[in-house]
Amino acid sequence: MNYDIIALDVDGTLLTDDHVLTKGTIEVLQQAAARGAEIVLCTGRGPAITIPILEQMGLSGTIITHNGGATVDSASRKVVSQFSFGLDEVALCLNYCREQGVHFDLNTAFDLYIERYNEAADTMYSQYGASPILLEQGTVYPEGLVKMCLFGTGEVIDTVESHWERWSGGMQFIRSGDYFIDVMQKDVHKGRALEELARMRGIERSRIMAIGNYYNDIGMLQAAGLGIAMDNSPDRVKAEADAVTLSNNEEGVRHALQTYL
């Protein structure tokens, strides 16, 4: 059948492990768009490093970024909706990270702020094409924060996750990758943002397809009429999906669209 919205996670789903968008995947997405589907990238990335991927496919439209924290129109670069929080709401998390030496960044819809550089983080930002803004500790952060992201080795992030009750402060966290924890307002996730976009479009759940690969994609898969997990997904993500496609390194998105459209 045809779908009105095709919601796609980016890293680990649309892109290969080498951050490559394959020619075959581009072709099948262009075909789906030509048949009337709106291709909506739903990602933990910010708009600055998401819009170029949409443009690489020769497409434009609405993107859901920061794991649902900010929905943005790619053509106008305007925020459609966002769920923001104040610095005081993440004070416990900030103190924890500073005391434990855990790298973090704070994000508005379009900008990414850090307090210090380190080699591993610099490499990570470079891989994603991100350009962080350095602020010295004690500098006033801008208003409109939508996400705080913690980064480290798998062991570090596992430890941080196990200490959640010590530093949550009423916020929620989403494990968005082996090396990342995203801190956001409660009940904010890709699925909620996708549901809101569908409501604005007047599109029923049954007309939505979603494809993802990680824990932060579960809400999106549940919000869709057809939720598809990548073969490289953890078992719990696969259990929440309606179907499983090939891995991101085997053009799983392309295979899913060819199978279900």
pLDDT score for 71: 96
Q: CATH second-level architecture of 87-184?
A: 2-Layer Sandwich (3.30)
The pLDDT of residue 2: 85
Domain ranges for the chain: 5-82+188-260, 87-184
In this structure, what token pair is assigned to residue 120?
Answer: 């591993």
Token pair for residue 149?
């992201």
Cβ atoms of 133 and 155 within 8 Å: the answer is no
- 3-class SS of residue 216: helix
Place of tokens 């949409």: 54
Predicted pLDDT of residue 149: 95
Please report the pLDDT score of residue 3 as a whole number.
Answer: 95
**230 within 8 A of 246, measured Cβ to Cβ:** yes
* pLDDT at residue 1 in the model: 72
Q: Which residue numbers in the chain have pLDDT < 70?
A: none
Between CA 109 and CA 66 the distance in angstroms is: 8
* Global confidence as pTM: 0.90
Q: What is the pLDDT of residues 125-179, one digit of tens each?
A: 999 989 999 987 777 889 999 999 999 999 999 999 998 888 878 898 888 889 9
Q: How far apart are CA 155 and CA 179, in angstroms?
A: 9
CATH architecture, domain defined by 5-82+188-260: 3-Layer(aba) Sandwich (3.40)
- Give the separation between CA 184 and CA 173, rounded to whole angstroms: 6
pLDDT of residue 139: 77
